[in-house]
């Protein structure tokens, strides 16, 4: 089977840095993706890590350690508009299907 | 470039009725996926098309669900007859040949009464 664990909720203040962790147990692993979803909206692709290390895209960075089956999403200089749900998802086989975590609801406060 | 679109955005039907959801992927994307999120649970994979062929339908819950992608462009997902437990948000996603990130549509919120 496949499972991904991430915190259900995180709260932070505007301008701060927040890290959302994701641990996974999967029968296969090709890569870890992160998606952002605002209420009622489409999950929006943020990043994809296939190899160990840190990938940086503007204020957002994503890290992967395959040996630890662990990754995280780092959000810097938090803005109110970053309040949303964030999902990690594993691409577990060559067929491209994604297995999602339960999502982390991030609340950014003034 | 237009994103993935889905229709309708909301559907409310009674148990036993039929509903058809439509997804238009990003133009040129051969891969098309259906996912759904039932209340309080994770987004779960339903099936994957490559052009008009079903590549993987291991996530389809039962034979009340029928997905088609005639001509390899848009796709439909029919639920017949609908049951209460089918309520949830149905997402469609698409990606280019060879993989790459999956781009999601806004979803169809289905409520079965």
Overall average pLDDT of the B2-23 stretch: 96
B44 in contact with A, Cβ within 8 Å:
yes
Give the torsion through C-alpha atoms of B104, B109, B112, B113, to 10 deg.
Answer: 170
**pLDDT tens, B37-72?**
998 789 999 999 999 999 999 999 999 999 999 888
Q: Provide the mean pLDDT of chain B.
A: 94
Compute the 3-state secondary structure of chain A and give helix, strand, coil in percent, each to the nearest 5: 5, 55, 40
Q: Which residues pair with B45 in a beta bridge?
A: B35
Give the residue-averaged pLDDT of B5-16.
97
User: Residues B99-113: what's their mean pLDDT?
Assistant: 92
Q: Which residues pair with residue A55 across a beta bridge?
A: A62
CB neighbourhood size of A17 (10 A): 12
Q: How many angstroms separate the CA of residue B84 from the nearest CA in chain A?
A: 21
Q: Which residues of B touch A89 (CB under 8 A)?
A: 43
Q: Is A90 within 8 Å of A26 (Cβ atoms)?
A: yes
Low-confidence ranges of chain A (pLDDT < 50): none
Asked if residue B82 has pLDDT above 80, the reply is: yes
Cβ-Cβ pairs closer than 8 A, A with B, add up to: 54
Q: What does the pLDDT read at residue B2?
A: 81
What is the Cα–Cα distance from A22 to B90, expressed in whole angstroms?
Answer: 24
* Interchain CB distance below 8 Å, B59 and A101: no
- Classify A92 as helix, strand or coil: coil
Contact residues on chain B for A101, CB-CB shorter than 8 A: 42
Report pLDDT for B32. Answer: 95
**Using an 8 Å Cβ cutoff, are A5 and A13 in contact?**
no
Structure confidence by residue, pLDDT tens digits, A2-32: 799 999 999 999 999 999 999 999 888 889 9
Q: Is the pLDDT of residue B3 over 80?
A: yes
Q: Are A108 and A13 in contact (CB under 8 A)?
A: yes
- CA B101 to mean position of chain CA atoms: 17
- What average pLDDT score do residues B63-83 get? 95
- What pLDDT was estimated at residue A62? 97
In this structure, the strands spanning B108-112 and B10-13 are parallel
With CB atoms and an 8 Å threshold, state whether B101 touches A96: no
Do the Cβ atoms of B42 and A100 come within 8 Å?
yes
- Cβ contact (<8 Å) for B99 and A87? no
Asked if the C-beta of B45 comes within 8 angstroms of chain A's C-beta atoms, the answer is yes
For residue A1, the model assigns a pLDDT of: 66
Per-residue model confidence (pLDDT) at position B40: 78
How many Cβ atoms are within 10 Å of A18's Cβ, its own excluded? 19
């Amino acid at each position: 089977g496949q499972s991904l664990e991430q915190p259900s909720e995180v709260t932070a203040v505007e301008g701060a840095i927040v890290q959302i962790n994701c641990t996974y147990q999967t029968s296969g692993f090709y890569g870890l993706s992160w998606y952002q979803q605002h209420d009622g909206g489409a999950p929006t692709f943020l990043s994809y890590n296939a190899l160990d290390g840190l990938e940086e895209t503007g204020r957002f960075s994503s890290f992967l350690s395959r040996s630890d089956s662990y990754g995280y999403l780092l959000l810097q200089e938090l803005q109110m508009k970053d309040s949303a749900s964030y999902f990690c998802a594993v691409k577990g086989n060559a067929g491209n299907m994604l297995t999602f975590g339960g999502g982390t609801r991030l609340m950014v406060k003034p | 470039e237009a994103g993935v679109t889905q229709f309708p955005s909301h559907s409310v039907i009674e148990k036993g009725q039929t509903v058809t959801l439509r997804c238009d992927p990003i133009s040129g994307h051969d891969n098309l996926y259906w996912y759904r999120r039932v209340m309080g649970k994770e987004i779960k994979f339903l099936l994957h098309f490559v052009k008009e062929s079903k590549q993987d339908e291991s996530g389809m819950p039962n034979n009340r669900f029928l997905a088609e992608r005639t001509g390899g462009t848009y796709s439909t997902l029919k639920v017949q007859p609908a049951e209460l437990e089918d309520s949830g948000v149905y997402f469609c996603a698409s990606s280019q040949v060879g993989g790459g990130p999956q781009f999601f549509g806004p979803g169809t919120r289905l409520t079965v009464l």
